């Protein structure tokens, strides 16, 4: 059984912002409806949040439209947008502890990891895109005819952003920052499970000087506020991160409304391939972190681990030892490696998959049970003796559950890695440059990590192949999806072109 921490003393942060943020103001929803946001450590209510419905989305979109069509933001010099965004980043850095506490109580994420890593990284992401704001330009063309032509890169307009609950801060910033740098105005719906930090970021954006109407935050339910955004006739672009099933609905809504372009970062069932020449201890540690980081609630989790037969037995032994030493408990305890799952619904879904794996005949090497009798804690869980068609091998579980399988040849490993409807990420552990090059070019996934995992960077784009979606977050590719190209053409001579 994994190690268990009984938690640590912690004072609940004051919850200052619980209303919708529209046109630069915190306002009640028009319906007066509210919903509860829950502390996954205990299952208790943290606070009540104003619930955005279609009517609120309409108001937010109208504010964003006015800000785009006649406000200063899209017309502002890129250097001035950069200055304001940099101020926003500075304010985030001044409030790291408070934001970290909000995400810890709202999403069950590790406080010390948030404070020391994820929240400071959001400020860096904003700075990265602020640095690009004054470098958006087209190019002069050389047409074959007697024409002078050039292209303009223009902001696409009002964008609707829908983000998931597993990384409330990271997902907020990696979508909002490039959209703002491009000169767009934004309506963003945080997940109903984790709205607290998004509202706090809106407060800081106002302080930084982002004009009214440019950033609008509308917490609400995916089934109500989500379609109101994706089908809205006055939203010019949608970027969504979430499940493949909902991604289909987003595409349908966009197509059936004003045919707005969409970008989708969807599910994953990512493979990690460990070859005979790997350092077994290092490989086991990479594999463990690959599936247990953020409680396995991460779309690129290395949840399918394939190990070459020469080191399989030793690898399995080390992996199980490490999993049993993994400490599960209160996310505010610095000795804890894994907090609670983000919600009761997700907690129950993961446990149901574990039971399904047992019924399918997989061997449970370790874990498989809840931890404690309060909150949404689950032991690190590892299955072996799995078959490719098992549900636990094919479905995205989105929790601390790994399936382990043996392979003989490189070709067999590549075939198994690609035997999935998803294509988001993959990991390779080997000392051989030939193996690394061959396998990385053969796996159909948007990002490949060699002898590491979860190595993200602001300048490293990531996104999916196949049913993991299309479009990229991070990197300049993310900035470009909020821009569109306009060609301007004129005859070289004064006479009209005929």
**Cα(251)–Cα(200) distance, rounded to whole angstroms?**
30
**Of 411, 398, 426, 396, the residue nearest 287 (C-alpha):** 426
CB neighbourhood size of 62 (10 A): 17
Q: Give the H/E segment covering residue 182.
A: helix 168-182
How far apart CA 41 and CA 329 sit, in angstroms, is 8
Enumerate residues 6+ apart whose C-beta is below 8 A from 422.
244, 266, 267, 268, 269, 270, 396, 464, 466, 467, 468
Q: Exactly one of 118, 249, 265, 316 is catalytic; name it.
A: 265
Residue 158, helix vs strand vs coil: strand
Question: What is the enclosing helix (H) or strand (E) of 90?
Answer: helix 78-94
How many angstroms separate the CA atoms of 422 and 270, rounded? 8
Is 265 a residue of the active site?
yes
Q: What tokens were used for 99?
A: 């934001």
Query: What is the Cα–Cα distance from 96 to 169, expressed in whole angstroms?
Result: 11
User: How far apart, in Å, are the Cα atoms of 54 and each of 192, 219, 221?
Assistant: 15, 12, 11
CA dist 238 and 113 (Å) reads: 30
Q: Which of 169, 157, 174 is nearest to 66 (CA)?
A: 157
Rounded distance, CA 171 to CA 176, Å? 8
- Is there a contact between 273 and 286 (Cβ–Cβ < 8 Å)? no
Helices (H), 196-279: 196-208, 225-230, 244-256
CA distance 51 to 361: 44
- Residue linked to tokens 């000392």: 431
- Start-end of H helices in 402-484: 410-417, 433-442, 475-480
Q: What would the DSSP string read from start to end of 259-302?
A: ---EEEE-----EEEE-TTS-HHHHHHHHHHHHHGGGG-STT--
* DSSP 8-state code for residue 230: H
Q: Is the dihedral of CA 394, 397, 295, 423 positive or negative?
A: positive
Angle at 471 between CA 470 and CA 474, to 5 degrees: 135
Q: Helix, strand, or coil here: 109? A: coil
Active-site residue set:
265
């Amino acid at each position: 059984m994994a190690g268990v921490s009984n938690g640590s003393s912690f004072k609940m942060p004051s919850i200052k912002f619980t209303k919708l943020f529209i046109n630069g103001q915190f306002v009640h929803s028009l319906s007066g409806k509210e919903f509860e946001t829950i502390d996954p450590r205990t299952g208790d209510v943290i606070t009540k949040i104003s619930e955005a419905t279609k009517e609120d989305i309409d108001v937010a979109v109208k504010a964003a439209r006015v800000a785009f069509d006649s406000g200063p933001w899209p017309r502002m010099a890129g250097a001035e947008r950069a200055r304001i965004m940099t101020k926003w980043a500075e304010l985030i850095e001044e409030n790291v502890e408070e934001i970290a506490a909000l995400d810890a109580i709202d999403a069950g994420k590790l406080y010390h990891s948030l404070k020391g890593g994820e929240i400071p990284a959001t400020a860096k992401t904003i700075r990265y895109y602020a640095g690009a704001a004054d470098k958006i330009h087209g190019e002069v063309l050389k047409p074959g005819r007697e024409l002078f032509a050039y292209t303009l890169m223009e902001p696409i307009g009002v964008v609707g952003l829908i983000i998931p609950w597993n990384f409330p801060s990271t997902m907020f910033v990696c979508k909002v920052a490039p959209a703002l740098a491009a000169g767009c105005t934004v309506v963003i719906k945080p997940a109903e499970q984790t709205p607290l930090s998004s509202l706090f970021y809106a407060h800081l954006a106002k302080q930084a000087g982002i004009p009214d109407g440019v950033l609008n935050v509308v917490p609400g339910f995916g089934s109500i506020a989500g379609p109101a955004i994706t089908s809205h006739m006055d939203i010019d672009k949608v970027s969504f991160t979430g499940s493949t099933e909902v991604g289909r609905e987003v595409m349908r809504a966009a197509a059936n409304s004003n045919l707005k372009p969409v970008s989708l970062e969807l599910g994953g069932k990512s493979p990690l391939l460990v070859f005979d020449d790997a350092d077994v201890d290092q490989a086991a540690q990479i594999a463990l972190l690959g599936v247990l980081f953020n409680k396995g609630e991460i779309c690129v989790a290395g949840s399918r681990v394939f190990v070459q037969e020469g080191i399989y037995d030793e690898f399995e032994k080390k992996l199980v030892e490490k999993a049993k030493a993994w400490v599960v408990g209160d996310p505010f305890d610095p000795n804890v490696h894994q907090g609670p799952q983000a919600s009761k619904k997700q907690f129950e879904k993961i446990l149901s998959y574990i039971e399904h794996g047992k019924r399918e005949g997989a061997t449970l090497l370790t874990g498989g049970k809840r931890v404690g009798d309060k909150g949404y804690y689950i032991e690190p869980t590892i299955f072996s003796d799995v078959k490719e068609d098992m549900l636990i091998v094919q479905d995205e579980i989105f929790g601390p559950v790994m399936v382990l399988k043996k392979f003989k040849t490189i070709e067999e490993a590549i075939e198994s890695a690609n035997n999935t409807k998803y294509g988001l990420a993959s990991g390779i552990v080997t000392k051989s440059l030939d193996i690394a090059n061959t396998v990385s070019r053969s796996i159909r996934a948007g990002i490949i990590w060699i002898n590491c995992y979860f190595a993200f960077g602001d300048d490293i784009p990531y996104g999916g192949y196949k049913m993991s979606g299309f479009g990229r977050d991070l990197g300049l590719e993310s900035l470009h999806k909020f821009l569109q190209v306009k060609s301007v053409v004129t005859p070289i001579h004064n006479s009209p072109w005929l």
